Structure 1
Amino acid sequence: MWKIKPPITYPLEAKYRPYLESLVPTDPISLFNLKRGSPEEEFPNLKYNYTCMASILTLKLYARQFNRATQSGVIFDDIIRPGLEEPGEFNGPMTVGCAAGDAQSYILFCDFFDRVIEAYHNHKMSKLQESDFNYDNLKGGDDFDQDYALSCEVSALRAVDDFCFPTHCSRGERRELLTLAKKAFDQLAETLPGKLYSVAEISQHPEDKGVTVIPSPFQLRTGVARDWPDSRAVWFSKDRTLVVWININDHLKLVTTRDDANIAKAFQCICVNLQKLEALYKKMRHPFIWKPQLGWVVSSPADVGTGLRARVRVKLPELSRHKRLKDILRRLRLCMDNTDCSGVYNVSNAQTIGLDEVGFMQLVVDGVQLLIRMEKRLQNEENIDDLVPLQK
């Protein structure tokens, strides 16, 4: 018996309801027969997990994502698998600990991804992301002190629309992505000639190509390196100014390196050729994925926004030992990693979302200039407190 009045049934509604309901897309999760328990029974052990994912995830949040799946079949456990496979170390660098299986993951699991992005990048998701490839807007970057700035690298990641990301894509998708890349580079040859090599070819003679492409244990555990080296390739421009990695970590990764640390020229090379490739992929009806709040969408939340990483190899033996170094880097929004050479470090942007491409490049250029000034002061046994910047 109804405790409240029964709903009113209209004859036409009753007649057409089956037809209308048939138009509603089927929830993918309802098509699965997953042998799993309740959210409480399936919740992962995060006790010794030091990833950003673990700091965000609660049972309540896990339960909200539990019965969801994207149209290509990505479930929430697929999303958090990278952080469970590689939980990090207590004093080690913070990693995001998750990866999207497709572009829809960022929408369907936005409750989780938005929190991760905000925590990892210190960025409010209410802000819209902008993009700026006008390299002429960059100030400096071609005038580093060559005694300290030794070399540089600029890279950009892109994901192609209508394809799953590496942790989830099929062999057929991966092969189609390679076919699209071949078509794009054939057309690019008119302005930038180059040659495409399969990873299998490179593995036979790595010394000829100057690169070694070997999947890491992490890539193997998370499925990024499934079927290796099937449909993995690297494209080299004839003048070696540009290298493009295909199906390695993301669909595409463009990389420019220079021995003279002229990061302005490296950025120009990335901007010009990235826009050319973008136009070619649009022409083939598979544009690069862009979302207003996320910017350029790629598989890892650590790289969304611009997908841009700018690195300068800098000699900083004195500054690397300074007690305020961590605070200085935090204020400059930079990170500093060891290299195989004592006293030499890679300085790069810590975030990829919140500013446009020129904005992040400017952070790196200004930051490296300041770090070099500090290093010179310390070598002369002078104080650097007046050079410590405010939070950028």
Structure 2
Amino acid sequence: MWKVKPPVSFPMETRYRPILENLVPPDPMSQFHLRRGSPEEEFPDLNRNPTWMGRILTPAMYSRQFNRCTHSGVIFDDVIRPGIEEPGDSSGLVSVGCVAGDAESYIVFCDFFDRVIEAYHGHKVTSQTPESDFNYNNLKGGEDLDGSYVLRCDITVVRGVEDFCFPTHCSRGERRQLLTLAGKALQRLERDQPGRLLSLEELDQEQQRELNLNRPSSSELRTGVARDWPDARAVWLSNDGRLVVWVNMDDHIRIRTTRHDANVTEAFKFTCENLLKLEEHYQELRHPFLWKQQLGWVTSSPADVGTGLRICVHLKLQHLPGHRRLRDVLKRLRICMDTTESSALYHVSNMATFGLSEVGLTQLVVDAVKLLVAMEKRLEGDQDIDELVPTQK
């Protein structure tokens, strides 16, 4: 990779500029000597591949991406590898089936990524800057959810850091630099939010179980996310247990706020306050979070672009999960509901992260939870819920 950051003063710049410019490869792909066939010979087998990558990719699109390469060496086959090796099935939520190796991937392979993002999030990519809103005062009704049904809420935000490749493609040295950078930023956060940064080796079995830290899956190992595990992986824990920051796990930074009650507004407020502080600390260290004009915040997965925000509410339900209209209701509300180890406890969260602001996504989940609770109460009284079924959001 050719990369030069010139000094502030370069008096001989005029004389040596032609020499430096001649060192820049006109096409990064020319620096690689891969023994590959033609695009027609290399096109993957996408039969019975239910991912959005498998549905969208055509021989013509593959041919257009075939000879492209980012400056850090990401080629298109690196992008689509997850969907080829782990296509999943069509019974659950359709996965994106692709991953970005670095932020430049979203530019070099934009005609592919934009189509995947539009299909997954149900929102068109335009030239307009995505709307952003961290003003928690604009959230309505998140503080009065029924505690008899809402037992807990988690809010997670994922961020990428500028000047570093994403976990699927980064080097061992980059990963260690990211950990050092995170340590400095989190140390500054501790002025307002006391906590401690622990490597995975320092966590005992009980802490790992509480944080749901499992050994890397076969998919994570094959796609490179878990290379050199557990080297340079760490978790920052606030002293009060409300805030957790994962470093170098599936993305550069993943932040989670947890509340063991029904107050989503307070959870969202706490998340916004600490996220904005952490963002400021990264900017002070000259490595801001990654932002793209048309996509918003970007990370390794197209499933997280825009806001990188997931709001998960833990709901206690008995009757609604078995109702014939449930799948239609969830689709119209644009949320998903997952089962847990408990037969009566379900996780309700937003499907998309792109197309709405942070407040808008949180409001969508709050409104959806209220409606699901209202439906559950009706079913408890042997009443019909058809008149409560919403129109498509």
Secondary structure of the residue aligned to 1:270 is: helix
CA shift for structure 1 position 24 = 6.4
> Given the superposition, is the C-alpha separation of residues 208 and 82 from structure 1 closer, same or farther in structure 2, using an over 3 Å criterion?
closer
- Counterpart residue number, 1:73: 73
- Counterpart residue number, 1:12: none
Q: Distance in 1 between matches of 2:373 and 2:221?
A: 39
- Counterpart residue number, 1:379: 380
Runs of at least 4 residues of structure 1 off by over 6 A? 18-21
CA shift for structure 1 position 343 = 2.4
* 2:102 maps to 1:102: yes
Secondary structure of the residue aligned to 2:225 is: coil
* 2:115 maps to 1:118: no
- Counterpart residue number, 1:325: 326
Secondary structure of the residue aligned to 1:302 is: helix
* 2:73 maps to 1:85: no
Q: Distance in 2 between matches of 1:150 and 1:38?
A: 55
CA shift for structure 1 position 128 = 3.1
Give unpaired runs (5+ residues) of structure 2. 1-17
Deviation track 1:271-325 (CA, whole Å, cap 9, x = no partner) reads 0000001000001110001112111011100010000000001122211111111
CA shift for structure 1 position 21 = 7.7
> Given the superposition, is the C-alpha separation of residues 285 and 106 from structure 1 closer, same or farther in structure 2, using an over 3 Å criterion?
same
* 2:340 maps to 1:335: no
- Counterpart residue number, 1:304: 305
Give unpaired runs (5+ residues) of structure 1. 1-17
- Counterpart residue number, 1:5: none
**Residues 206 and 212, structure 1, Cα contact 8 Å, conserved in 2:** no
Deviation track 1:28-78 (CA, whole Å, cap 9, x = no partner) reads 101100011011111111112111100000111000000000000000000
Q: What is the one-letter code of the residue matched to 2:56?
A: I
Q: What is the one-letter code of the residue matched to 1:292?
A: Q
Q: Distance in 2 between matches of 1:61 and 1:95?
A: 19
> Given the superposition, is the C-alpha separation of residues 24 and 195 from structure 1 closer, same or farther in structure 2, using an over 3 Å criterion?
closer
Q: What is the one-letter code of the residue matched to 1:185?
A: L
**Residues 219 and 225, structure 1, Cα contact 8 Å, conserved in 2:** yes
Secondary structure of the residue aligned to 1:150 is: strand
* 2:175 maps to 1:174: yes
* 2:263 maps to 1:262: yes
Q: Could you say what the CA RMSD is over the residues aligned between the two structures, in angstroms?
A: 1.5
CA shift for structure 1 position 140 = 1.5
Secondary structure of the residue aligned to 1:185 is: helix
TM-score with structure 1 setting the length = 0.92
> Given the superposition, is the C-alpha separation of residues 208 and 53 from structure 1 closer, same or farther in structure 2, using an over 3 Å criterion?
closer
Q: What is the one-letter code of the residue matched to 1:83?
A: G
**Residues 25 and 31, structure 2, Cα contact 8 Å, conserved in 1:** no
Secondary structure of the residue aligned to 1:46 is: coil
* 2:63 maps to 1:60: no
- Counterpart residue number, 1:356: 357
Q: Distance in 1 between matches of 2:344 and 2:195?
A: 36
- Counterpart residue number, 2:280: 279
Q: Distance in 1 between matches of 2:118 and 2:168?
A: 23
Secondary structure of the residue aligned to 2:303 is: coil
**Residues 237 and 243, structure 2, Cα contact 8 Å, conserved in 1:** yes
Secondary structure of the residue aligned to 1:336 is: strand
Kindly report which structure 2 residues correspond to 1:205-220, keeping only aligned pairs within 5 A, or say none. 205-208=204-207, 210-213=210-213, 214-220=215-221
Q: What is the one-letter code of the residue matched to 1:206?
A: Q
Secondary structure of the residue aligned to 2:235 is: strand
Q: Distance in 1 between matches of 2:282 and 2:112?
A: 30
TM-score with structure 2 setting the length = 0.92
Provide the aligned length of Structure 1 versus Structure 2: 373
Deviation track 1:344-391 (CA, whole Å, cap 9, x = no partner) reads 210000100000100000000011001000110011111112211111
- Counterpart residue number, 2:32: 32
Q: Distance in 2 between matches of 1:146 and 1:206?
A: 31
Q: Distance in 1 between matches of 2:384 and 2:90?
A: 32
